[in-house]
Amino acid sequence: MKKFLSVLLVVLISISLAACGGSSDTGDQGTPTGSGTQSEPAGASASKTGKKVSIEEKVIFDQNDIKVTATSLDPTGSIFGANLDVLIENNTSKRVTVQARNSAINGVMVDTIFSCNVAPGKKANDEITFSSTDLKRAGIETIKEIQFQLHIFDADSWETIIDSDPIVITTNADPSFVQEYDDDGVLLLDKQGFKIVAQGLDMSGSIFGAELLVYVENNSDNDVTIQVRDASVNGFMVGTIFSCNVLAGKKAFDSITFDKSDLEKNNIKEISEIELRFHIFDSDSWDTIFDSEPVTVTFE
């Protein structure tokens, strides 16, 4: 049953409309040429050492009579991604659910698969899975640093018990290793510490529609969500799917999906021009940080 639920959870996550994570690199990709500054290549995307890194067993959370210990790391744990094994001890009188939020590896936002129910007075061994798709898109081959928060709530009432402070786990990777990031592409936005680069167009990347692959940097002091407004393709208004959460100081590889039915309705088989605005707001307060001017990207 656990395996069945895990597979079902993966399927549901894979079709999530609000997930922040890269798409696969299959399908025909156009070359963006549009307005904006062409950035320089970042060089190799990751270390080629291939070292199977590990961690030391460590208590990473111990509050509210709930204790979580990181026991081991398997960088190639499953087809779904790298696995961080954890032991959860519930010393409360409530049935609790523990989940992971705001996850990043080597400074890049990465989706996770993890939701563990623990009965009162019981323990559970489980694993936090970090998306292989996101790791591949970001060029992460050596895991040096893992960051995430634990969201713990009452499994019956769904009331939040506690949201942890950011938890940082360092592996035994070479301390001198520096993750490199591929920021090559057409610069769409560079304002107030936020940078967004268009890196290609995938016409068959999603069952929901064509995808514009983007690289995002948040060099501000705010944890933010970035969305799209007023998008058009070849001059026709088109619905989009894009809501990317990026912590302060982190990066993300994501994709803006253009609604397949809208493309078909307007008989758009090839995309030559995309125009849109970015809406950026604080993820905690929901206060708007700014709305960008319209930006345009064209394709050869």
Sign of CA dihedral 215, 219, 225, 229: negative
Condensed to tens digits (0 to 9), the pLDDT of residues 242-295 reads 999 999 999 999 999 999 999 999 999 999 999 999 999 999 999 999 999 999
Phi, psi of 120 (to 5 degrees): -55, 135
Mean pLDDT of 204-229: 94
Sign of CA dihedral 28, 31, 35, 37: positive
Distance from C-alpha of 1 to C-alpha of 6, rounded to nearest angstrom: 8
Residue 283 carries which DSSP code?
Answer: T
Band of residue 37 on the pLDDT scale cut at 50, 70, 90 = very low
**134's tokens:** 């996101």
Cβ-contact 83, 91 below 8 angstroms: no
What's the CATH fold of domain 16-43+182-298? Immunoglobulin-like (2.60.40)
Is the pLDDT at 35 greater than 60, yes or no?
Answer: no
Whether the domain at 16-43+182-298 and the domain at 58-170 fall into the same CATH topology: yes
* Residue-level pLDDT at 51: 58
* Residue-level pLDDT at 204: 83
Tokens 């705010």, residue located:
222
Range with the lowest mean pLDDT among 42-51, 54-63, 109-118, 200-209? 42-51
Distance from C-alpha of 299 to C-alpha of 36, rounded to nearest angstrom: 13
**261's tokens:** 């039915």
- Portion of the chain with pLDDT greater than 70, in percent: 83
- Portion of the chain with pLDDT greater than 90, in percent: 79
Mean pLDDT of 138-147: 96
In CATH, what class is 58-170?
A: mainly beta
Domain boundaries, the chain: 16-43+182-298, 58-170
Range with the lowest mean pLDDT among 48-52, 62-66, 106-110, 113-117? 48-52
**Which of 287, 273, 178 has its CA nearest to residue 222?**
287
**DSSP letter string, 105-162:** ETTEE--EE-EEEE-TT-EEEEEEEEEHHHHHHHT--S--EEEEEEEEEETTT--EEE
